[in-house]
Amino acid sequence: MRQNFVAGNWKMNLTLPEAQALTTEIVQELREEQPSQRPQVVICPPFPLLMGVGQLLGEGDNPALGAQNFHQKDSGAYTGEVSAKQLQSVGCDYVILGHSERRQHFREDDSLLAEKLKTALTAGLKPIFCVGESLETREADETFDFIGQQLAAGLFHLSQEEFGKVVIAYEPIWAIGTGRTASTQQAQEVHAFIRAQVAAAYDEATAANTTILYGGSCNAQNARELFSQPDVDGGLIGGASLKAADFVAIIKSF
């Protein structure tokens, strides 16, 4: 079901004491609001910090715990990897898949991500599936073709029921960690395109209920304007999620 949604991707940052201090501050700042009155909040720490952070999130599912990745197999001789079932067993409800940094640095392609999506859903994890174009793709006026291909190859193999459990995040690669942000018009155009693609692949009702996040240098200063767009349902937040005051301000931007 479509909902306002804010996820914090901590990437490879923070020690356990730092993570616990940040989590405690975020939870305390959010206590003044009932969980039902705030957007769905998800915190995605690095693997070693999951349990330590999850224990501080308290009862209920808002804020929820998410992971940044996993291996597509259930178990086996994959040294250094973790499985979806292992993530679910330590309290994860969500997992980020297809982040541009995973695609670029670890060569994760659409075929692999399609397999990971199935594995996540079987394990009971809700995927936050990322799509987005490079600066070269945008300057070549190929953004819609590129994202359309990512959606078709990575997502649209899912059944309608399976797809209903997926959150999509649009992250223009040229705006991640660069301080550059897509204009509200640029963000809305791509989000509207994604929703139209979902409608074509499934139906209008499915598209209307799909949560689509913006994930490119969203911060406390621009979140309200971005979230005011009709097809922008929230944000996948990077650097700004590492500061409690900024992250909470983003959460309260709806």
Q: What are 97-120's pLDDT values in tens digits?
A: 999 999 999 999 999 999 999 999
- What pLDDT is stored for residue 234 in this prediction? 98
- Active-site residue, 171 included: yes
- Active-site residue, 99 included: yes
Q: Which of 99, 101, 133, 191 is catalytic?
A: 99
- What pLDDT is stored for residue 177 in this prediction? 73
Q: What are 186-220's pLDDT values in tens digits?
A: 999 999 999 999 999 999 999 999 999 999 889 99
Percent of the chain with pLDDT over 90: 89
Among the ranges given (29-33, 76-80, 144-148, 200-204), the one the predictor scored with the smallest mean pLDDT: 29-33
Q: What are 211-242's pLDDT values in tens digits?
A: 999 998 899 999 999 999 999 999 999 999 99
Residue 34 has pLDDT above 80, yes or no: no
Residue 35 has pLDDT above 80, yes or no: no
Structural domains of the chain sorted by starting position, each given as residue range(s) with its CATH number in brackets: 5-251 (3.20.20.70)
Q: Which of 101, 108, 133, 171 is catalytic?
A: 171
- What pLDDT is stored for residue 180 in this prediction? 74
pTM attached to this predicted model: 0.96
Residues 6+ apart with CB under 8 A from 7: 41, 42, 43, 44, 66, 94, 96, 128, 167, 169, 213, 234, 235, 236, 237
Helix segments in 96-243, DSSP class H: 100-105, 110-123, 135-139, 143-154, 160-163, 184-201, 204-208, 223-227
Sign of CA dihedral 212, 218, 223, 225: negative
